[in-house]
Structure 1
């Protein structure tokens, strides 16, 4: 029984930190509201245009502010009071959600108005992302950071599982405006939790650290452990990301049943939730570097094998393994970044991590689609898996600081 308890997710941060508990709960409900709003956006854009190009444009409008302004927002998080910055950006997102609700209830609002509100909301999200992530080390001791990140991960996955389904039901009953309204109301918990936090200005001991985007990039280029963590994420996403290949695999090998296509995505999510629930098995070991490499290697291998899976059930099992491995890699990478980055650089480094997390999967899906168009989906999956495994192994070989580390304290 003791071994089982150690394997289960470590809830010590929730038990011992009232501030973390309030913030985690607020972000959970905000995440559910955000996922409902995502479904509403897709629904509105499709109903307005019946053109898949415009649904792609809506995704680009959401992604571009993070990519364009992420590093500047990270630099601001390193210079400003992080609590105040997060409070301002969360309030901005809540206001945008309220305006989206107004146009949603209006019925036939112009598409450009919808896209403009989405873009403004994404600017606030780009600004609040680094501030939100850099709050965590101020709330938890170093030994609890991995557990805190695992708890944040399972909250995100619960939102991903439940939010879209709830959004679909709400849209069917009342229309998209209600989803946006729920999203606006869901920010109340986050705003309250952040308002209850103490001020979080830059630490006095690090006020002489150079600020600005270029200084942050120089830190990233010169710090082998942090650079290795971000390169591992790039290798695992750009070379291996499989989502764009799912429709082709389903059509070519499994009969094209849309229910099977849905199960592909669900299998990855289920694997991720199981890994999060059992995250004590790797967060309590306090070895985030080896765990990150192991998770990334298993992710690549499982998706490569999915390309030659002989039947649906084997394929779903491999996707569940890949989802579990991805959760291990994501939580462990976040722990590496948090533990190895001085507080004065953390906003910029977290912003870079978020940009990699946004751009890497998009590039990976593009790579998979191009290779599959030239060859086939199995070739794209198998070649991507092999290249991903080789790239992660090379990064691990060239980053001994991460292979043998035992996390104990932050820089």
Structure 2
């Protein structure tokens, strides 16, 4: 294979060099597909029971509230206990929640309230699981491979966003929604195997004095280190300010005929772009200033969303959404690299919790922002304003957080 092609492709060194990371990554990838199948099935089941798009949108609230309330607790637990054991227990609980989803569908309970309750329970357990799981990777890999690991993790996330709904649609049409939930539960088997085979990961350094004090220590670190604050602000440039996901159904109806198949293409285009960006992310690990690169990706995302707001061509819309998905994925790779390199291990669980809250909370609030502005101003105006605002926000972050903009990965201390 030519040298140029080799350097362009995804860096798989973490998979080759670390069997533990390889097992964790493969298991998480399969579980990601299963998780997206449940997301698809829950939304479809709620819509069938209520006939209301508002009821479907309220699922986002059921996800966001437990994240905001409990992620800090999860991050603190990840720094106070053995991370492997914590992730193993919480992943087992997540598999159990998927079984409960299947049971209610099989029993024909027809209760939207029960679905909201199960979604909230799933989110609560995930709020404890995700920060600890993210904090495992730096224990398994050398620092020079953290950017490659971030790209590999982004690949599983984006591939799951494409494959999960496609598999769920096929399973639901063939065997019903119960099959989607059961397949999600079964997908946890690979994840649990990968987690169980991890080495022990006891806390390093002094344990936090208490959960609230521990969370305060993490927030103090974010305030004192401009590169961390900048990384989280960069994430919000996309998730909160510019994401057009909530406007895609209206865009499809107003400009492209409103067919479900067309909406499916629009919804999947961003994830396809993310998969392609991850697959060609080899150079990401060699970027000297990942913070500045993240902000450029944020600006590029905003520009593509602004262009999407004025296009009337379906082909152009699909291309722009794919480019936006690619920019989003690379921005995540870059700012995640800064966060991992800048955070001492004894605080990684709590800082990962902050990152998780920003990502999930920002995404849900961004959907609310987009939907509200779309209803008030119109789809195109709301989308154009969000895109241009993201470009402006990226420029403001570059000025307000110079430590992030000019952060050099090669100069990061061995233990921040």
> TM-score with structure 1 length normalisation?
0.94
With over 3 angstroms needed to count, the CA separation of the structure-2 counterparts of 1:398 and 1:55, relative to structure 1, is closer
Q: What is the CA distance between 1:254 and its match in structure 2?
A: 3.3
Q: Which residue of 2 aligns with 1:341?
A: 343
Q: Which residue of 1 aligns with 2:323?
A: 321
Q: What is the CA distance between 1:403 and its match in structure 2?
A: 2.6
| Alignment check: 8 A CA contact 2:161 2:268 kept | no
Is 1:95 the counterpart of 2:99? The answer is: no
> Structure 1 residue aligned with 2:390, among 382, 388, 391?
388
Q: What is the CA distance between 1:286 and its match in structure 2?
A: 4.6
Q: Which residue of 1 aligns with 2:146?
A: 145
> Structure 1 residue aligned with 2:311, among 309, 312, 326?
309
Q: What is the distance in 2 between the residues matched to 1:364 and 1:112?
A: 24
| Alignment check: 8 A CA contact 1:36 1:166 kept | yes
Is 1:78 the counterpart of 2:79? The answer is: yes
| Alignment check: 8 A CA contact 1:209 1:344 kept | no
Is 1:134 the counterpart of 2:140? The answer is: no
SS in 1 for 2:295: helix
- Deviations along 1:205-256, one digit per CA (max 9) or x if unpaired, are x547885222222221221100011011112222211112223333333343
Q: What is the distance in 2 between the residues matched to 1:41 and 1:262?
A: 17
Q: What is the distance in 1 between the residues matched to 2:44 and 2:373?
A: 30
RMSD (Å), alpha carbons: 1.9
Q: Which residue of 2 aligns with 1:171?
A: 172
Q: What is the distance in 2 between the residues matched to 1:153 and 1:8?
A: 14
Q: Which aligned pairs between 1:61-76 and structure 2 lie closer than 5 A? A: 61-76=62-77
Q: Which aligned pairs between 1:210-221 and structure 2 lie closer than 5 A? A: 211-221=213-223
Q: What is the distance in 2 between the residues matched to 1:251 and 1:170?
A: 27
| Alignment check: 8 A CA contact 2:228 2:404 kept | no
Q: Which aligned pairs between 1:156-195 and structure 2 lie closer than 5 A? A: 156-195=157-196
Q: What is the distance in 2 between the residues matched to 1:251 and 1:212?
A: 48
Q: Which residue of 1 aligns with 2:253?
A: 251
Give unmatched runs, 5+ long, in structure 1.
none
Q: Which aligned pairs between 1:17-56 and structure 2 lie closer than 5 A? A: 17-56=18-57
| Alignment check: 8 A CA contact 2:238 2:302 kept | yes
Q: What is the distance in 1 between the residues matched to 2:299 and 2:194?
A: 37
Q: Which residue of 2 aligns with 1:361?
A: 363
Q: Which residue of 2 aligns with 1:112?
A: 113
Give unmatched runs, 5+ long, in structure 2.
none
Q: What is the distance in 2 between the residues matched to 1:251 and 1:53?
A: 17
Q: What is the distance in 1 between the residues matched to 2:166 and 2:247?
A: 23
With over 3 angstroms needed to count, the CA separation of the structure-2 counterparts of 1:263 and 1:110, relative to structure 1, is closer
SS in 2 for 1:212: helix
Q: What is the CA distance between 1:162 and its match in structure 2?
A: 0.9
Q: Which residue of 2 aligns with 1:402?
A: 404
Q: What is the distance in 2 between the residues matched to 1:43 and 1:365?
A: 18
With over 3 angstroms needed to count, the CA separation of the structure-2 counterparts of 1:130 and 1:304, relative to structure 1, is same
With over 3 angstroms needed to count, the CA separation of the structure-2 counterparts of 1:53 and 1:398, relative to structure 1, is closer
Q: Paired residues, what number?
A: 410
Structure 1 stretch displaced more, 262-271 or 221-230: 262-271
Q: What is the distance in 2 between the residues matched to 1:155 and 1:301?
A: 26
Structure 1 stretch displaced more, 253-262 or 334-343: 253-262
Q: What is the CA distance between 1:156 and its match in structure 2?
A: 1.3
With over 3 angstroms needed to count, the CA separation of the structure-2 counterparts of 1:270 and 1:362, relative to structure 1, is same
Q: Which aligned pairs between 1:201-280 and structure 2 lie closer than 5 A? A: 201-204=202-205, 206-207=206-207, 211-280=213-282
> TM-score with structure 2 length normalisation?
0.93
Q: What is the CA distance between 1:187 and its match in structure 2?
A: 1.1
Q: What is the distance in 1 between the residues matched to 2:391 and 2:117?
A: 40
| Alignment check: 8 A CA contact 2:49 2:110 kept | no
Q: What is the distance in 2 between the residues matched to 1:40 and 1:218?
A: 40
> Structure 1 residue aligned with 2:334, among 316, 327, 332?
332
| Alignment check: 8 A CA contact 1:161 1:269 kept | yes
| Alignment check: 8 A CA contact 2:237 2:393 kept | yes
With over 3 angstroms needed to count, the CA separation of the structure-2 counterparts of 1:85 and 1:287, relative to structure 1, is same
Q: What is the distance in 2 between the residues matched to 1:178 and 1:50?
A: 22
